[in-house]
């Protein structure tokens, strides 16, 4: 992605040089909003574990721990300051507060799924935790989904590079992971935006139909008054 702060090659070099600390901090910083590709970090760690430069279980634990701590920090940021920030962004883009409130309600209904599966989707991995805080998701429930999601994501990504890295070049894995993340993000964005657009369009149609109906009623009332006036003259 063009917004990435560090290139895949640089991440691979940092992982080779600093090992577990590079993996832990890379995932933690990504979850705090920095444009560091988490998939690349975990894949680099898994590849190094597959070539016996790092320990597989330590890499998985590092990635899961960084994701869990980062997710928790994001949750509390959203819980205590996210709603005001979201309203200001809404004003900037001319989105009504009622619409933002509706989005918050809808996210709250699916917060658990978003936190868990968001681990596998670029950008949503960063924003799911703050949004869970904004939506008021109970902390114990968030902790469950966040921890299980972080451990599942870390295990899948590290294992993928650990085994596939022996037959597929690491650069190819980086490319495939980036493409998958981009496609998944577009699908999720469409899943969120399209229903919102349809609902907005439906509301506008209802308002237009209501206005049209009121106009017809007014016209009929005026016609009736005119008829009564004409009869009174006769």
The per-residue pLDDT for range 92-127, each reduced to its tens digit, is: 767 777 777 877 787 788 888 889 988 888 778 888
Report helix, strand or coil for 136: coil
Distance CA 62, CA 151 (A): 10
Q: Which of 54, 38, 34, 56 is nearest to 149 (CA)?
A: 38
CA 90 to each of CA 77, 84, 124: distance values in angstroms, whole numbers, following the listed order: 18, 10, 19
Distance CA 184, CA 181 (A): 5
Question: Higher confidence at residue 61 or residue 101?
Answer: 61
Q: Judge residue 101's burial from the number of C-beta atoms within 10 Å of its C-beta, 0-12 exposed, 13-18 middle, 19 or more buried.
A: middle
How high is the pLDDT of residue 145? 95
What value does the mean pLDDT of the chain take?
78
How high is the pLDDT of residue 174? 67
How crowded is residue 73: how many other Cβ atoms within 10 Å of its Cβ? Answer: 17
Whether the predicted pLDDT of 2 surpasses 60: no
Q: Which of 51, 32, 33 is nearest to 43 (CA)?
A: 51
CA 179 to each of CA 73, 115, 125, 156, 232: distance values in angstroms, whole numbers, following the listed order: 28, 21, 16, 17, 78
Q: At what angle do helices 56-77 and 38-50 cross, to 10 degrees?
A: 160
The per-residue pLDDT for range 124-180, each reduced to its tens digit, is: 888 888 889 888 899 999 999 999 999 999 999 899 888 876 777 777 776 766 656
How high is the pLDDT of residue 1? 41
Distance CA 76, CA 70 (A): 10
pTM over 0.85: no
Distance CA 233, CA 231 (A): 5
% residues pLDDT > 90 (the chain): 22
How high is the pLDDT of residue 152? 94
Whether the predicted pLDDT of 231 surpasses 60: no
DSSP 79: I
CA 229 to each of CA 65, 114, 118, 216: distance values in angstroms, whole numbers, following the listed order: 82, 65, 68, 20
DSSP 135: T
Tokens found for residue 233: 């003259």
Question: Higher confidence at residue 217 or residue 176?
Answer: 176
């Amino acid at each position: 992605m063009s917004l990435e702060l560090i290139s895949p090659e640089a991440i691979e070099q940092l992982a080779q040089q600093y090992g577990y600390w590079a993996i832990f901090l890379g995932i933690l910083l990504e979850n705090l909003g920095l444009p560091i590709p988490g998939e690349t970090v975990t894949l680099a760690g898994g590849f190094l574990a597959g070539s016996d430069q790092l320990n597989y279980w330590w890499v998985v634990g590092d990635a899961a721990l960084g994701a869990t701590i980062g997710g928790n920090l994001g949750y509390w940021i959203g819980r205590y300051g996210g709603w005001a920030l979201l309203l200001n962004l809404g004003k900037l883009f001319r989105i009504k507060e009622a619409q933002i409130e509706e989005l918050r309600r809808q996210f709250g209904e699916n917060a658990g799924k978003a936190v868990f599966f968001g681990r596998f989707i670029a950008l949503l991995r960063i924003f799911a935790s703050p949004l869970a805080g904004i939506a008021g998701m109970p902390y114990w429930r968030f902790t469950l989904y966040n921890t299980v999601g972080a451990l599942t994501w870390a295990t899948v990504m590290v294992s993928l590079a650990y085994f596939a890295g022996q037959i597929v070049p690491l650069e190819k894995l980086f490319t495939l992971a980036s493409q998958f993340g981009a496609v998944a993000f577009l699908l999720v964005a469409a899943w969120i935006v399209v229903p919102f657009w349809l609902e907005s369009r439906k509301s506008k149609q209802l308002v237009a139909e209501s206005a049209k109906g009121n106009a017809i009623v007014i016209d009929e009332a005026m016609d009736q008054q005119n008829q009564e006036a004409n009869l009174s003259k006769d």
